[in-house]
Each structure stands twice: as C-alpha cells, then as structure tokens.
Structure 1
Amino acid sequence: MSERFAADPVRTARRITSLLERAGIDGEDVLRVEGEGGLSYASGLPVEDVQALLRGARLPQGAPGDGGGTDPVEERHRRVVARIVFLRRTRLRTSPDGQRRAYSLADIAAGAGTSAQWLDKMIKTGKAPNLDHAAGIADFFGESIEFLVAEPAEALDRVLQRIHKDLLERTVARQDADIQRLRNADIAGSALGAGAAGGAGSPGSAGSAGSDLGIVGYAARALADVPDDTAQPIIALIESIARRSREERARESR
C-alpha cells in the first residue's frame, strides 16, 4: 500500500460495489467473505475480523492483528506467526489418494530454507522468523511477505484493491469493445447510406450518432474509478449535450 493513503476497506468495497452495479454483475460472490478464494482466505484474517472491517468497525482490543494494548514488536511477531498458521491451515496440498491435507512442517521448512524443528518451536513460542525466512514461507504458499506483516485493515484493503483493479480493467476492456462496435457500425452505416442516397444526409447522421455514443463511452471509462456521486452527474451532462446535439442536427437536416 502507498504510504500516502490510509487503508480504507469500506471505501474500496463501495467502489467495487459501484463498478459491479454499473456492469450489472452480482457482487455476492465477488465480495464473498468465507470459503476458499473468499476475502478471509485471501487476506489471512479471520472471518469475523473481515466482517467487522467491512462494517467500518474497529477490531476489539486484543483481536489478532489489532495491535492494541501490546508491545508493537510482540504484536508483529504474533501477527506473522498467526498468518503462517493460517496459510498452513488453508493452503492444502492434494495427496496421491486425492485427499487434501496440510503441508508438513518438513515440506514448509525445505521451501523456506530452515528446519522443521525450528518451525515447530516458532509456532509454539509465537516468535516470528526473520524477514528472509518469513519471505521464504510466504513464497512457499504463493504469497508475498506483505501477506504476513500487513495490519488487518491494510491486509483486507490490499485484497479489495486487487479486486477493484481487476474489475476496472474488465470494465475498460468492455467499454473499448463497445466503442469499437459503435465505430464498426458507424462505418457500415456510412457506407450503406452513401450507396442508398448518394452520400447526402445519411452518412453524417450515422456518424454523428456513433460519435456521440463514443464520447459518452469514453467519459464513462475515464470516470470508472471516480465515486458515483461525482461521476454520474458528469456522465448525465455529457449524455444530455450529446442528445441535444443529435436533435439539432436532425432539425437542420429536415
């Protein structure tokens, strides 16, 4: 996360919801908290902590990762160890018999460059590994070091920001495709109009409609990452201007 911005899971979740509503997508699965691939799984936070943060609540003192009332160094150690245990519990391997089981400490230690005995002691004492070993453990499970060390709000916001970025990219790609279809229809309409009417009146009409719709599409894309209460009035204004422009051209062509 950038140091310029405080993590705000509630705001990011609202931005995701706005994009989902705009795209007509059901957000129930996208913002699912429980289960594999859910927000808890992806952030390393207990389900109840994720639910509390999404409500805008502060985690109770003494909750995993809240940092309240404890020594900061001790809290960081406890957070890292708790998330390593979380990874081992949730990132399972598939055995030859088809069953999914937790990785052994020996497997994890080999991947992290340490020993199973040391890992066992770390879990029992709650003393976190150094950054190199922590990074090795996170990498073994396909995660970054940030997964282990981020504070709860930041950990959840990181996941939500990734979801928002993915949705935004999909929205932009869809809008680009829509604009390209409008351009193709514009070209086809112009060619058809020129053939039928000798190029008088029809091509300009078809091109203007396509251009107007393209302008609105570009505006929607440019404002996709802007809060709805700001973006919607701007898009509505552009749509209104484009509509008046089409009506004026229609009157002039009569």
Structure 2
Amino acid sequence: MREPYPPLHRTLARIEELRESCGLGRDEVFDTARLSYQTGVSEDGVRTLLDGQELNDQGAEARVRHRVTFLYESRRNGQGTSFDIREIAAAIGATTTWTRKLVTGEAKPSIVAGHDLAKFYGVSTGFLTDSPADALNRELQSVLFDLEVRADPEKRLKDLGVAHIAGRTSEWSRDQLVEVTRMVASIAKDLQRVANTVARMEQEEIR
C-alpha cells in the first residue's frame, strides 16, 4: 500500500524551502547515487524527477523486471559480489534456470516470488512496483525529515510527542538537540515497525 505522502511536487517544494532556509546547496541535500540505490530509479531518472520533470515510465511489467535486475546487480553479499543464483532460487522456491531468467529481466516474478525476492534483499514489496515518482517521493521523506530537524528540532520533538524533552532544550546545544531528535525518531520508527509486525502476525492467526 502506498504511504499517504503529499504528491512529489509538494515534497520537493517543501524540501527546497527548507534547504534555502538552512543555507544548504542542492548537492548537500540530494544524494542521487543513494536515492537511485534505494529506489531502483537510474541516477539520470532521479535527476529528472528532482528537476520537476516527468519521467517516461514503460509500464508496470517492464518496471518490475527492471527493478528485479537492478536488485541483482546492485546488491552485494559478504564477499562483495552478486548473490549466487542458487541462493536466490532457494529463497524464492524456484529453479535456478527460471531464477537466472528472472534476474536478467527475461521473466516476471509472480506475486509470491516478488514478495519472497523483496524479503531476500531486505526491501519493501513496493520497491518492485512503485512508479518512479512514488519511489522517489518515499525516499525523499527521510530527506525532508532531516531538513525539518535542522530547521526546527524543538518542533519535531513536540511532533513526536516528546514534550518533556522539548521543554528542556535550552540546556542543550543545537547539535545535541538535532541528534536527540534523530534518535527519538529512529526509536519511534522501530517501534512502529514492531507494532506492524505484531499486527500482521495476529491477522494471520485469525485466518
């Protein structure tokens, strides 16, 4: 399910506003290599979207095939090489022949195989299916949050429900406040992830 984020153009407009208020250059805010890695969109495609232009999308099937190949080519195992086809095949319950076709873009994964593949690589299932704009918008939320923390860490703490700490911010330097805010946000995100996992487990037990 797509997260209820504002449209990409609004996210970009807010980032630009905060970037300027923080006195940061675009290169300091937008790491196109990281955004490409996290979204499966090429670096050129990321730059196009960041410039407010539309990106030609060849459709859902071509997108899924491309993202699977992107995962295979960009993710590395402990030895610094692509994961072994046999290991991937075992993880998704498929033959090595079909898996080889899958990671080279010759085959499209089923819903189950796509889910298992995303789990194997540690990405959300949305990684394979999100449109380029939606994928970038998702990843830009962390950029936006970081800028909001820089611009007004006390407000972000209050937004996270930490009123007690927010009331003592005069005792800290700005850098300390920024770091505490990031830490609280990380803890909140981890707790939400655990809550979501528990909820899914309860639903499976009901079924």
Q: How would you bin the TM-score normalised by the shorter chain?
A: 0.5 to 0.7
Q: CA deviation at 1:160?
A: 0.9
Does the Cα contact within 8 Å between 2:69 and 2:105 map onto a contact in 1?
no
> Aligned to 2:47, what secondary structure does the other structure show?
helix
Q: Which residue of 2 aligns with 1:90?
A: 74
Q: CA deviation at 1:12?
A: 1.5
In 2, Cα distance between the equivalents of 1:105 and 1:50? 29
| Alignment pair present for 1:103 and 2:87 | no
Q: CA deviation at 1:178?
A: 7.1
- Residues paired across the two proteins, number: 163
Return closer, same or farther for 1:55/1:23 CA change in 2, 3 Å cut-off. Answer: closer
Q: Which residue of 2 aligns with 1:188?
A: none
Q: Which residue of 1 aligns with 2:13?
A: 14
Return closer, same or farther for 1:178/1:24 CA change in 2, 3 Å cut-off. Answer: farther
Trace 1:4-153 onto structure 2 (pairs within 5 A): 7-8=7-8, 10-24=9-23, 28-34=27-33, 38-60=34-56, 66-67=57-58, 75-95=59-79, 100-124=80-104, 126-153=106-133
- Structure 2 residue ranges without an equivalent (≥5): 158-164, 173-207
Return closer, same or farther for 1:157/1:181 CA change in 2, 3 Å cut-off. Answer: closer
- Structure 1 residue ranges without an equivalent (≥5): 61-65, 68-74, 186-254
Trace 1:164-203 onto structure 2 (pairs within 5 A): 164-168=144-148, 173-175=153-155, 180-182=168-170
In 2, Cα distance between the equivalents of 1:149 and 1:164? 23
Greater mean alpha carbon deviation, residues 104-113 or residues 17-26: 17-26
> Aligned to 1:127, what secondary structure does the other structure show?
coil
Q: CA deviation at 1:122?
A: 2.8
Return closer, same or farther for 1:54/1:115 CA change in 2, 3 Å cut-off. Answer: same
Task: List per-residue Cα deviations over 1:44-102 (Å, max 9, x = no partner).
Answer: 00111111111122224xxxxx03xxxxxxx322211111111111111221xxxx111
| Alignment pair present for 1:163 and 2:143 | yes
Q: CA deviation at 1:111?
A: 2.2
In 2, Cα distance between the equivalents of 1:116 and 1:150? 27
Return closer, same or farther for 1:86/1:53 CA change in 2, 3 Å cut-off. Answer: same
Does the Cα contact within 8 Å between 1:77 and 1:127 map onto a contact in 2?
no
In 2, Cα distance between the equivalents of 1:106 and 1:144? 22
Q: CA deviation at 1:42?
A: 1.1
Normalising by structure 1, report the TM-score.
Answer: 0.55
Normalising by structure 2, report the TM-score.
Answer: 0.66
In 2, Cα distance between the equivalents of 1:87 and 1:125? 11
Does the Cα contact within 8 Å between 1:78 and 1:126 map onto a contact in 2?
no
Return closer, same or farther for 1:16/1:133 CA change in 2, 3 Å cut-off. Answer: same
